[in-house]
């Protein structure tokens, strides 16, 4: 593979793997703004970044189980109504490094910043599919168990040099309420190469792996996508499964994301100047579920206080129509700590789901979905 034409990247990024390029910002960058700056948005790749230099000729083919397959050009997609959806994209491998500390897991290591919150601009996939004669889906008219497969133009070794791909159920793709986008903008600017220029899927509320970048084709298929990243990766196994006894077909591809949170204003083992500290971080759940509560402890989880929550700065967050349902919620609490402290955060989503206390109990060999209580140890010193 050829990594000689990678795009420039911000020097603050922590590189977890160089080729393919996988990097995350320092965690403090995440809580400096509600919408994550493109430079600080994590980059998760499985091959070299493709180059699309002729936008006029770039097209996406819509094929598969449809009567009239179509080739769509950028102008066709941009002619559809444009939507801006604020959505958090989180890699299933976020916080994998911490899971690996209890028992080694396979995969690129990540601290707590393999996620970001962006305003994605583009056409709704439901509108795009209507152009090829597929009606919108409502709960009253389910679309027959079919799937929509996104195929990229990149090349990755897991697919033996073939493209990255993934699928979602057709009913999700064609339900306007699910806000699935073919996005050409990120935070009001055209997508950059790292994030999928010129066009990517954005599937809010589920693991980042299904938001395929650099789209080449969209296929309507009878069964879910049989690609590596759907069938041999991104599945959640119980702690008893290891590389000798794994049977991939026993588990479904992971889609939804459980409730997650992490402290970003402090690093583990930080030495702080005095005992008055600010504990800031993010909380986010899958499926469009809001964040009901964030609890913070400074004594390792013996006692708790509730943190304040916000999306737009200065406006207290409530999980209702006024909030961005696909986006993270930032939280903040102030505390006065003794000489040493174990700070813990845990979130509760609007379905009353809670985070598991310990990573051991959710350990899985691929190291995905580490949503255990987030802990940082700090010491007051000089
Ligand atoms: N799409 C393509 N074509 N190739 C990839 O390697 N990585 C996926 C997804 N889409 C990937 C892809 C994964 S695992 C994640 S978490 C997100 O893209 C990351 O998106 P980002 O790099 O824009 O943050
Ligand atoms: Mo990912």
Q: Are residues 133 and 172 in the same domain?
A: yes
Q: Which residues pair with 291 in a beta bridge?
A: 349
The per-residue pLDDT for 141 is: 62
Ligand sitting nearest the alpha carbon of 212: 1
Q: Are residues 222 and 288 in the same domain?
A: no
Q: Are residues 291 and 328 in the same domain?
A: yes
Task: Tell me the CA–centroid distance for residue 92 and ligand 2, in Å.
Answer: 5
Of ligand 1's atoms, which has the minimum distance to the CA of residue 42?
24
Please tell me the distance from the alpha carbon of residue 114 to that of residue 25, in angstroms, as a whole number.
8
Ligand sitting nearest the alpha carbon of 92: 2
Judge contact between 218 and 60, C-beta under 8 A.
Answer: yes
Task: Tell me the CA–centroid distance for residue 314 and ligand 1, in Å.
Answer: 32
- In sequence order, which ranges of the chain are alpha helices (DSSP H)? 27-30, 74-78, 96-102, 125-131, 170-173, 228-231
Q: Are residues 131 and 223 in the same domain?
A: yes
Q: Which of 22, 208, 260 to mutate to test the pocket of ligand 1 (most atoms within 8 A of CB)?
A: 208
Q: Are residues 164 and 231 in the same domain?
A: yes
Checking if the pLDDT of 172 tops 80, the result is yes
Last residue of a domain, one of 216, 250, 284: 250
The per-residue pLDDT for 137 is: 87
Residues contacting ligand 1 via CB (< 6 Å) = 41-46, 89, 91, 152, 154, 164, 195, 208-209, 211-214
Q: Considering only CA atoms, give the Rg of the chain.
A: 21
Judge contact between 125 and 180, C-beta under 8 A.
Answer: yes
Question: Once rounded to an integer, what is the mean pLDDT over residues 312-316?
Answer: 85
Q: Are residues 53 and 23 in the same domain?
A: yes
- Per residue in 88-128, pLDDT (tens digit) is 999 999 999 999 999 999 999 999 999 999 999 999 999 99
The per-residue pLDDT for 338 is: 93
In 3-state terms, what secondary structure has residue 331? strand
Task: Tell me the CA–centroid distance for residue 376 and ligand 2, in Å.
Answer: 24
Task: Tell me the CA–centroid distance for residue 347 and ligand 1, in Å.
Answer: 26
* Nearest CA, atom 3, ligand 1: 213
Q: Which of 122, 201, 210, 211 to mutate to test the pocket of ligand 1 (most atoms within 8 A of CB)?
A: 211
Task: Tell me the CA–centroid distance for residue 268 and ligand 1, in Å.
Answer: 28
- Per residue in 29-69, pLDDT (tens digit) is 999 999 999 999 999 999 999 999 999 999 999 999 999 99
Task: Tell me the CA–centroid distance for residue 42 and ligand 1, in Å.
Answer: 10
Checking if the pLDDT of 20 tops 90, the result is yes
Of ligand 1's atoms, which has the minimum distance to the CA of residue 152?
3
CATH number for 69: 3.90.420.10
Judge contact between 215 and 122, C-beta under 8 A.
Answer: no
Q: Are residues 49 and 21 in the same domain?
A: yes
Q: Are residues 233 and 287 in the same domain?
A: no
* Nearest CA, atom 17, ligand 1: 208
Q: Are residues 278 and 218 in the same domain?
A: no
Is there a domain that residue 4 lies in?
A: no
Q: Are strands 59-64 and 215-221 parallel, antiparallel or unpaired?
A: parallel
Checking if the pLDDT of 130 tops 90, the result is yes
ω into 259 cis (within 30 of 0): no
Q: How many domains does the chain have?
A: 2
Ligand sitting nearest the alpha carbon of 96: 2
The per-residue pLDDT for 306 is: 98
Is there a domain that residue 1 lies in?
A: no
CATH number for 346: 2.60.40.650
Q: Which residues pair with 319 in a beta bridge?
A: none
The per-residue pLDDT for 7 is: 98
Residue 314's pLDDT band (cuts 50, 70, 90) = confident
Task: Tell me the CA–centroid distance for residue 91 and ligand 2, in Å.
Answer: 4
* Nearest CA, atom 11, ligand 1: 45
Q: Which of 91, 93, 229 to mutate to test the pocket of ligand 1 (most atoms within 8 A of CB)?
A: 91
Question: Once rounded to an integer, what is the mean pLDDT over residues 225-230?
Answer: 98
Query: Cβ atoms within 10 A of the Cβ of 288, count?
Result: 16
Of ligand 1's atoms, which has the minimum distance to the CA of residue 116?
24
Q: Are residues 196 and 307 in the same domain?
A: no
**What is the span of the domain harbouring residue 265?**
260-380
Last residue of a domain, one of 222, 250, 278: 250
Is there a domain that residue 41 lies in?
A: yes
Q: Are residues 110 and 45 in the same domain?
A: yes
Task: Tell me the CA–centroid distance for residue 90 and ligand 2, in Å.
Answer: 7
Checking if the pLDDT of 157 tops 70, the result is yes
Please tell me the distance from the alpha carbon of residue 41 to that of residue 32, in angstroms, as a whole number.
12
The per-residue pLDDT for 312 is: 87
Judge contact between 319 and 347, C-beta under 8 A.
Answer: no
Opening angle at CA 242, ends 155 and 164, nearest 5: 15
Is there a domain that residue 7 lies in?
A: no
Last residue of a domain, one of 199, 225, 250: 250
Q: Are residues 227 and 268 in the same domain?
A: no
Of ligand 1's atoms, which has the minimum distance to the CA of residue 41?
24
Ligand sitting nearest the alpha carbon of 183: 1
ipTM value of the model? 1.00
């Amino acid at each position: 593979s050829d990594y000689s034409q990678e795009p420039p990247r911000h020097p603050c990024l922590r590189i977890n793997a160089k080729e393919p390029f996988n990097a995350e910002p320092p965690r403090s960058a995440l809580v400096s703004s509600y919408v994550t700056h493109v430079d600080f948005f994590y980059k998760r790749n499985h091959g070299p970044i493709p180059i699309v230099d002729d936008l006029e000729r770039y097209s996406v083919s819509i094929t598969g189980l449809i009567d009239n397959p179509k080739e769509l050009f950028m102008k066709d997609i941009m002619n559809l109504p444009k939507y801006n959806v604020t959505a958090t994209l989180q890699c299933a491998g976020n916080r994998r490094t911490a899971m690996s500390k209890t028992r080694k897991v396979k995969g690129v290591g990540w601290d707590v910043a393999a996620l970001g919150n962006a305003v994605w601009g583009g056409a709704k996939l439901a509108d795009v599919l209507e152009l090829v004669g597929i009606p919108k889906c409502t709960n009253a008219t389910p679309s027959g168990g079919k799937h929509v497969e996104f195929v990229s133009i990149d090349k990755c070794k897991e697919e033996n040099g073939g493209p990255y791909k993934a699928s979602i159920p057709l009913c999700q793709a064609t339900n306007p309420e699910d806000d699935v986008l073919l996005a050409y903008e990120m935070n009001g600017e055209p997508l950059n190469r790292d994030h999928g220029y010129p066009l990517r899927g954005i599937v809010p509320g589920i693991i980042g792996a299904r938001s395929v970048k650099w789209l080449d084709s969209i296929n309507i298929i009878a069964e879910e996508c049989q690609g590596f990243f759907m069938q041999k990766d991104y599945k959640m196994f119980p702690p008893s499964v290891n590389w000798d006894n794994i049977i991939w077909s026993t588990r479904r591809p992971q889609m939804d994301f459980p409730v997650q949170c992490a402290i970003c204003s402090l690093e583990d083992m930080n030495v702080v100047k005095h005992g008055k500290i600010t504990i800031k971080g993010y909380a986010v759940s899958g499926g469009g579920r809001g964040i009901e509560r964030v609890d913070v402890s400074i004594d390792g989880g013996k006692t708790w206080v509730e943190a304040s929550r916000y999306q737009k700065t200065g406006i207290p967050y409530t999980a209702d129509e006024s909030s961005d349902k696909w986006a993270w919620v930032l939280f903040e609490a102030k505390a006065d700590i003794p000489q040493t402290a174990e700070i813990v955060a845990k979130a509760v989503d609007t379905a009353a789901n809670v985070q598991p206390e310990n990573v051991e109990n959710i350990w899985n060999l691929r190291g995905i979905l580490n949503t255990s209580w987030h802990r940082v140890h700090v010491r007051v010193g000089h």
